[in-house]
Structure 1
Amino acid sequence: MTPNRRIKKELDYMLKLYPIVALTGPRQSGKTTFLKTEFPKYKYVNLENPDNRNYALKDPNNFLNEHGKYVIFDEVQRVPHLFSYIQHLVDENKIMGQYIFSGSQNFHLMNNITQSLAGRVAILKLFPFDLEEMKTANWHNPKDFTYNMQRGFYPALYDRKIPSKIFYSNYIQTYIERDVTNLINIRDLKNFRNFLYLCASRAGQLLNLNSLAMECGITQPTAKAWISVLETSYIVFQLQPYFTNFSKRVTKTPKLYFYDTGLLCHLLKIKEPQNIATHPQKGALFENMMIAEIVKNNAHKNLLQELYFFRDAVGHEVDLLIQTDEKMALVEIKATQTIMTDMFKGLQYFETLKPNLVKSKSLIYAGFENQKRTAGKLVPWEIVCTNKW
């Protein structure tokens, strides 16, 4: 059974509002399968195909006219000059939902959209499965978060049953390194791979570019450029600190996370789910997984929410702040089933500083009961992608 992709509702909606919808996201996140399955009335054209690409390059007008009004152009960034011809067509036809773009090279795709199609394209992101999608196919273990944490969330791990070690080894070699060489001139891929391992060892921590650069033997500007490449390829993301209207004693350095914990576990050489329980980064892994799930949930439901964290120089911290309208939902994340009252102290401290800003206080934990307590709500890890909290 294939999971239901929750982004379908949002894509249907955007097709009514814009002439073009662009679906981006990591390689192998299921974009092509999703589009071909859910939009059978659209003609599918893959521009990775040399024949299609050459046709589009040599005779773009005839290429577009031949394919008609409702077309999915996969890997459309491969033919950059096609965008100006598409602009002319959509402006002339004024048909909503005329084209769906798909692409994995986010930088090139977005660059072409910005230059030629601004205002004509709605942009959505499809990530690997989130927990709610996994449930629809019974591909998750509701009693043990470590199962999916270690295995990962990419479709091929489940529908093709590829062992995670094999999948991620190939993913690093064929996709990450391919995207890297397309975006930036890296002379030593071995050193870049070492940089990726170092990033994994710092998941959930403040991003210290100087330390990363020094340990990897590169300059700080190079480390910054490499992080940017990993972000563009949807491998890592930065969670920004919240410091509006606070003193200088508040952290202003972002934290580093991975979109997929399966890749993170592979880089940390965690070979089995049971190894997580005693791993020194268990807490960071759980925090990474929960924040990544919320990021995926926001993307798949197109929620316009800003995410932050808070930390001051004394050590007061809130793992996640979710901004909706003018209010903040405060979230603490703990990889434990045993809850102590002092686990809410970071949330309570922030509330004393900004009482009018706080909408709710929640603690996401490794347990299974959804409870309301005086200090805040207890949220089981399994419902983090739902509206049940």
Structure 2
Amino acid sequence: MFERIAQNTLTSHLSWSPAVAILGPRQVGKTTLARALLETHPGAIYLDLESPQDRARLGEGPLFLKANADRLVILDEVQNAPELFSVLRGEIDRSRRPGRFVLLGSASFELLRQSQSLAGRLSLIDMFPLLVHEVGSDLATVQELWVRGGFPPSFTAVDAQASWAWREAFMRHLLNTDLPALGLRVDAESLRRFWRMLAHVHGQLFNASAIANSLDVSAPTVTRWLDHMVGALLVRKLEPFHVNLGKRLVKAPKIYVRDSGLLHSLLGVTSVTDLQGHPMTGASWEGFVIDQIAAHLPAGASLSFYRTAVGAELDVVVESGPRKIGFEIKFSIAPKVTKGFWQSLQDVQPDKTYIVAPVQQRWPFAEGVEVISVGDIAGVLAG
């Protein structure tokens, strides 16, 4: 239905890498993307490692993989079979043929930990929920994507009520099944309370002690829970930009629920009407835009934010080689900036700065600063 950006990336990586891993949360479209390879690669094999039948078909691994050495093998939810990674390494070393394996995983920390034995043999692709660049950049579509989020079943639901119901069921499954299976053995109600608290501090500096006091647990426990949420690709931890300026810079990361639709479910926001005047509207828009920026980062680029103790702040700093790009995010069709914004530009000295707002056309704001729409992000990062 949608032409995913990851499709071209996957095709490119298969042309030179023996194994490609696609990382993304459940229901983001990884399986749909991989199954499309069955049509373009005759003889390709797809195995879901959560399926007992497919696990039995795979057997212990070596014999099956050797018997299919000339075929593309797609292994879904591969973090559930850690014993396979040493087998994959042996198969790859026997024949460095590109496009040998595609591995799908919905838990980045598990897959990356297990795949250390494949260092130098495995390329990684991050797959995001649906993006503006994939669904359309007109204001109505952007608004719908922002409210419902980018998980395809939520975005394409027949109405707002069906979208809400899908997200609620999805979160229940995550809390009751997926997160415990990944090692976060905490009762679902406590995890939901924690996730809801993260939603209410979305876009703010992470304070483990404050959340721990509210939950009556220790700060290290809260930090461990957060690490699992980050590893399960449900929460983004945005680290501060550090530069030797002799200034007092904040050291704590900022926290974002990675999908705006899930954020709105946790906040009880069911429609765009609910968002109007909601105290979290600006923070929600900020997280939505940051997801778009993260999805279009050039290879090797880093993402951070800048803030000093005296109020200089820039929402996003992208470092790509010698180039620095700044982004300020405003939910206003006539955005205004503060003195702290101008101070941050003096400190960081980005090559170009953009103010991302819900506008239809871009325009120059000041020398070196331009107002752009969320649909323009891919282009300015590519340039």
Gaps of 5+ in 1: none
Match of 1:61 in 2: 62
CA distance in 1, matches of 2:110, 2:320: 31
Contact preservation (8 Å) 1:287, 1:334: yes
Match of 1:320 in 2: 316
CA distance in 1, matches of 2:234, 2:182: 14
How far is the alpha carbon of 1:145 from its aligned partner? Answer: 4.3
**2:333 pairs with 1:337:** yes
CA distance in 1, matches of 2:264, 2:32: 26
More displaced, 218-227 or 150-159?
150-159
Select the residue among 339, 349, 352 that pairs with 2:346: 352
CA distance in 1, matches of 2:277, 2:87: 57
Match of 2:364 in 1: 372
Cα 1:131/1:38, change in 2 over 3 Å: farther
The equivalences for 1:1-389 within 5 A come to 2-40=1-39, 41=41, 42-57=44-59, 59-69=60-70, 70-114=72-116, 116-135=117-136, 142-143=139-140, 145-159=142-156, 161=158, 163-247=162-246, 249-298=248-297, 303-340=299-336, 343=337, 345-354=339-348, 357-375=349-367, 376-387=369-380
1:207-237 Cα offsets, whole Å, 9 max, x none, are 1111111111111001000100110111111
CA distance in 1, matches of 2:247, 2:343: 17
CA distance in 2, matches of 1:160, 1:384: 26
How far is the alpha carbon of 1:98 from its aligned partner? Answer: 0.8
| Moved >6 Å (runs of 4+) | none
RMSD of aligned Cα (Å): 2.0
CA distance in 2, matches of 1:122, 1:143: 36
Q: How many residues align?
A: 375
SS in 2 for 1:85: helix
- Structure showing greater relative contact order (alpha-carbon pairs closer than 8 Å, 6 or more residues apart): 1
Contact preservation (8 Å) 1:19, 1:90: yes
CA distance in 1, matches of 2:338, 2:3: 35
Cα 1:382/1:16, change in 2 over 3 Å: closer
Contact preservation (8 Å) 2:153, 2:163: no
Contact preservation (8 Å) 1:131, 1:385: no
Contact preservation (8 Å) 2:155, 2:163: no
Contact preservation (8 Å) 1:56, 1:82: no
Contact preservation (8 Å) 1:257, 1:288: yes
CA distance in 1, matches of 2:345, 2:164: 44
SS in 2 for 1:330: strand
Residue 370 of structure 2 aligns with an amino acid whose one-letter code is K
More displaced, 232-241 or 357-366?
357-366
How far is the alpha carbon of 1:30 from its aligned partner? Answer: 0.4
SS in 2 for 1:271: coil
CA distance in 2, matches of 1:386, 1:275: 31
Contact preservation (8 Å) 1:237, 1:259: yes
Cα 1:125/1:89, change in 2 over 3 Å: same
Gaps of 5+ in 2: none
Contact preservation (8 Å) 2:315, 2:328: yes
Contact preservation (8 Å) 1:203, 1:257: yes
Contact preservation (8 Å) 2:175, 2:188: no
CA distance in 1, matches of 2:338, 2:241: 18
CA distance in 2, matches of 1:55, 1:381: 46
More displaced, 169-178 or 327-336?
169-178
1:320-357 Cα offsets, whole Å, 9 max, x none, are 111121232111111001233xx164342123234xx4
Give TM-score, length-normalised by structure 2: 0.92
CA distance in 1, matches of 2:141, 2:94: 54
CA distance in 2, matches of 1:155, 1:339: 31
SS in 2 for 1:387: helix
Contact preservation (8 Å) 1:290, 1:381: yes
CA distance in 2, matches of 1:339, 1:237: 25
1:359-382 Cα offsets, whole Å, 9 max, x none, are 012111122220113241011233
Contact preservation (8 Å) 1:130, 1:385: no
1:125-163 Cα offsets, whole Å, 9 max, x none, are 11111111112xxxx752474322111111112445472
SS in 2 for 1:10: helix
How far is the alpha carbon of 1:35 from its aligned partner? Answer: 1.1
What is the aligned-residue identity percentage?
26
Contact preservation (8 Å) 1:265, 1:271: yes
Cα 1:352/1:83, change in 2 over 3 Å: closer
CA distance in 2, matches of 1:159, 1:148: 9
Cα 1:310/1:33, change in 2 over 3 Å: same
More displaced, 368-377 or 201-210?
368-377
SS in 2 for 1:361: strand
CA distance in 2, matches of 1:187, 1:358: 43
How far is the alpha carbon of 1:176 from its aligned partner? Answer: 4.1
